[in-house]
Amino acid sequence: MQRRINPREANRMMQRMGMQVKQVDDVTRVIIESASKRIVIDAPEVAIVTVQGQTVYQVGGGTAREEGPAGASTQEDANLVASQAGVSVDEAAKALQQSGGDLAQAIIVLKQKKTS
């Protein structure tokens, strides 16, 4: 049976080996973008690990989802937002770009602008 290591002991051992671990608090979302897709991780635990002068960002937990190409909104998305918000397709496309492709957010923002 393996002995459980106290987190404090683990930190001391890592420091002796030249590793520094810093937890990043209050992270709500991590987005990894590539040319072909976008990975969004909600409510992650993030740590910055420095080993021998090299920095590694460790992301764990949370719920992950894959999306299409980073920041890409289709014409179909713009048409949907335009019809739901009662605005032009150009305005809808701009709102989609500002919201990072989030259709619901784009519609809400446009409706709020329209009522103000």
Tokens representing 65 are 């989802």
Per-residue model confidence as pLDDT tens digits over 21-38:
899 999 999 988 887 788
> Domain range holding 50?
7-67
* Domain co-membership, 83 together with 59: no
Tokens representing 106 are 């784009």
How many residues make up the chain in this entry? 116
When pLDDT is averaged across residues 74-83 and rounded to a whole number, the result is: 89
Tokens representing 82 are 């335009």
The CATH number that applies at residue 110 is 1.10.8
Burial of 96 (C-beta count, 10 Å sphere; 0-12/13-18/19+): buried
Q: For residues 114 and 110, what is the distance between their CA atoms, to the nearest angstrom?
A: 6
**Residue 99: pLDDT band with limits 50, 70, 90:** confident
* Domain co-membership, 61 together with 82: no
Q: For residues 41 and 38, what is the distance between their CA atoms, to the nearest angstrom?
A: 10
* Domain co-membership, 49 together with 98: no
Report the mean per-residue pLDDT for the chain.
86
Residue 107 in this model has a pLDDT that exceeds 90: yes
* Domain co-membership, 25 together with 54: yes
The pLDDT, as a whole number, for residue 54 is: 93
Amino acid identity, position 53: G
Residue 72 in this model has a pLDDT that exceeds 70: no
Q: CA dihedral defined by 91, 97, 100, 101, rounded to 10 degrees?
A: 60
* Domain co-membership, 13 together with 58: yes
The pLDDT, as a whole number, for residue 1 is: 61
